[in-house]
Amino acid sequence: MDDFKTVRIKKKTLLRFKKFSRKVSNSYSKTLDMVMNFFEWHGFLPTDRFGKSVVEEIIKNRKRTDATIAIIKDIEKSQTKPTNAMLLSLFEQNSEGQDNDIDFDDSFDFVEKKFPDGKPEEEWFGETTVPKVRYERLEDRMGSIRKDFGYVLGKVKVVKSSFGKKHIRLELTEGEIEKFKRTLKNL
């Protein structure tokens, strides 16, 4: 049997604890253990006031639940139902095609011509020669485009959303964007 010790508590607090203990458990020791376990498990201190924070957490959880429901409904609308409808229409067409004894060749509305001009296209296996100066200019342009592209990729940041998919943010100024537009336009 466990040893019992006494603790001095004010009479008003003791009466309140006895009333609370009757609601929670059949012994005072179990009630006190449950209360202490609750505070230790959740990381609260009895001096903490968490009335607002509990309400805020409940509201946040409701918003998350609503967002999750919206995402699931969107998935149903955009992915599941159209796929199901496409499969059903394919099966309907397939069953209709089996019922009708239409010849396979008669079911096509058009016949593809082999060559649009009536002449076979000539295959060209020659090489393209580019003057050395032009080639060097093209290499320089390609190098500057690679450098610019690397700079732009360096300014791309992944932003994690608490709901839905991650998205990317491009951290460029308006002047930089205009410069890249002009560069691409002048190529």
Confidence of residue 115 (pLDDT cuts 50, 70, 90): low
pLDDT of residue 104 exceeding 60, the answer is: no
Which region among 102-111, 139-148, 173-182 has the lowest average model confidence (pLDDT)?
A: 102-111
Q: Is the pLDDT of residue 13 over 90?
A: yes
Residue 152 lies in a domain: yes
* Residue 187, token pair as written in the block: 């190529």
Whole-angstrom Cα distance, residue 32 to residue 25? 9
Residue-by-residue DSSP string for 17-54: HHHHHHHH-SSHHHHHHHHHHHHHHHT--TT---HHHH
| 116, part of any domain | no
157 phi and psi angles, rounded to 5 deg: -120, 140
- How far are the Cα atoms of 8, 21, 29 from residue 3, in angstroms, in the given order? 17, 20, 12
Task: Calculate mean pLDDT across residues 90-111.
Answer: 59
Residue 180 in domain: yes
Instruction: Decide if pLDDT at 17 tops 90.
Output: yes
As given in the structure block, the two tokens for residue 28 are 């005072």
Tell me the torsion sign for CA atoms 126, 131, 134, 135: positive
| Separation between Cα atoms, residue 43 and residue 18, nearest integer Å | 25
Residue 94 has pLDDT above 80, yes or no: no
Domain count, the chain: 3
**Residue 120, domain member (yes or no):** no
pLDDT of residue 10: 94
Its pTM surpasses 0.75: no
Look at residue 128 and tell me whether its pLDDT is greater than 70: no
Residue 165 structural domain = 132-185
In a domain? residue 19 = yes
Angle, in degrees to the nearest 10, between helices 28-42 and 11-24? 80
Are 26 and 57 contained in the same domain? no
Q: Same domain for 137 and 179? A: yes
Is there a single domain that holds both residue 56 and residue 85?
Answer: yes
Helix boundaries (H) for the chain: 11-24, 28-42, 51-75, 81-99, 132-154, 174-185
Mean pLDDT on 89-97: 69
- Is there a single domain that holds both residue 72 and residue 41? no
Sequence-ordered list of residues with C-beta below 8 angstroms from that of 156, at least 6 positions apart, any chain: 168, 169, 170, 171
The torsion angles phi and psi of 113, rounded to 5 degrees, stand at -85, 150
**Residues 180, 155 share a domain:** yes
Residue with tokens 């609750």: 38
